Amino acid sequence: MVNKTSSCVFISGNGSNLKSLIKSSRDYNFPIKIELIISNNIKAGGIRLAKRYSIPYKFFPSNDQKKFERNCLFEIKKRKIKFLCLAGFMKILSSNFIRTFRHKIINIHPSLLPKYPGAHAHRDALADGAKVTGCTVHLVDEGVDSGPILAQRELEVLPDDDEDSLSERVKVLEHILYPEVIDAFAAGLL
Ligand code: GRF
């Protein structure tokens, strides 16, 4: 078995990307082990997944950002976690926090960055009349969805797409791309 890197996944919502990472991480050769799931939303579907797969999880409200990050740091250090995956985590982390884990925080975003950063990527793509969209896995820096791009997958926008259909179709790609990139990144291929 590869020497798996202790990792934490941050979520806010549904957790479909979390699910794909959990499934991949159960593979003998996948380079990360999910030791902790952190949610800033008590109602996040991902919390149910944490329970189902018996992965330790913490809910910390993020309205007080300093307190939130202090709580996260405490848990991360306690568990000797070395790699952080954001998977639908809807809160901007502070520069201090990001600097502590430089090049150790990775995110998936539902657009072809640098196009359509922020919380409404599909809405923005549709409003812009984009013919092609997709998803991006990138390292997290101090900006909003602005860190170095590791990989992208493209998808054609169909004439009758709305935000929901686009999100659903892009997520199919996300669930493949995110584990692939983590695998390659850990192997030093990216
Ligand atoms: C995904 O589209 C991801 O790219 C974005 O937020 C969404 C989260 O979905 N950052 P889920 O919670 O993983 O289902």
Which listed CATH number (1.10.20.10, 3.40.50.150, 3.40.50.170, 3.10.180.10) goes with 108-190?
Answer: 3.40.50.170
Contacts of 25 (CB under 8 A, 6+ apart): 4, 7, 32, 33, 34
Torsion sign (Cα): 90, 56, 147, 125:
negative
Question: Are 10 and 69 in contact, with CB atoms under 8 Å apart?
Answer: no
pLDDT band of 187, cuts 50, 70, 90: confident
15: Cβ below 6 Å to ligand 1?
yes
Q: How far is CA 24 from the centre of its chain?
A: 14
- 108-190 has the same fold as 1-102: yes
pTM: 0.96
Contacts of 164 (CB under 8 A, 6+ apart): none
Question: Are 38 and 58 in contact, with CB atoms under 8 Å apart?
Answer: yes
Question: Are 36 and 46 in contact, with CB atoms under 8 Å apart?
Answer: no
Cα 113 from Cα 188, distance rounded (Å): 22
Which listed CATH number (3.40.50.170, 3.10.520.10, 3.90.550.10, 3.40.50.970) goes with 1-102?
Answer: 3.40.50.170
Question: Are 38 and 60 in contact, with CB atoms under 8 Å apart?
Answer: yes
> pLDDT tens-digit profile of 13-64?
999 999 999 999 999 999 999 999 999 999 999 999 999 999 999 999 999 9
Nearest CA to ligand 1 atom 5: 88
Nearest CA to ligand 1 atom 1: 88
Question: Are 18 and 46 in contact, with CB atoms under 8 Å apart?
Answer: yes
174: Cβ below 6 Å to ligand 1?
yes
Q: How many angstroms is it from 17 CA to the middle of ligand 1?
A: 6
Buried b (16+ CB within 10 A) or exposed e, 3-41: ebeebbbbbbbbbbbbbbbbebbeeeebbbbbbbbbbbb
> pLDDT tens-digit profile of 106-155?
999 999 999 999 999 999 999 999 999 999 999 999 999 999 999 999 99
109, 122, 138, 175: which one is catalytic? Answer: 109
Walk across the sheet containing 83-86 and list its strands: 57-59, 32-39, 5-11, 83-86, 105-109, 132-139, 149-156
Tell me what pLDDT residue 1 has: 60
**Domain extent listing, the chain:** 1-102, 108-190
| 120 catalytic residue (yes or no) | no
Q: How many angstroms is it from 16 CA to the middle of ligand 1?
A: 7
- Give, for ligand 1, the residue of 48, 171, 181 to mutate: max count of ligand atoms closer than 8 Å to Cβ: 171
Does 167 have pLDDT greater than 80?
Answer: yes
Cα 35 from Cα 112, distance rounded (Å): 30
Question: Are 36 and 81 in contact, with CB atoms under 8 Å apart?
Answer: yes
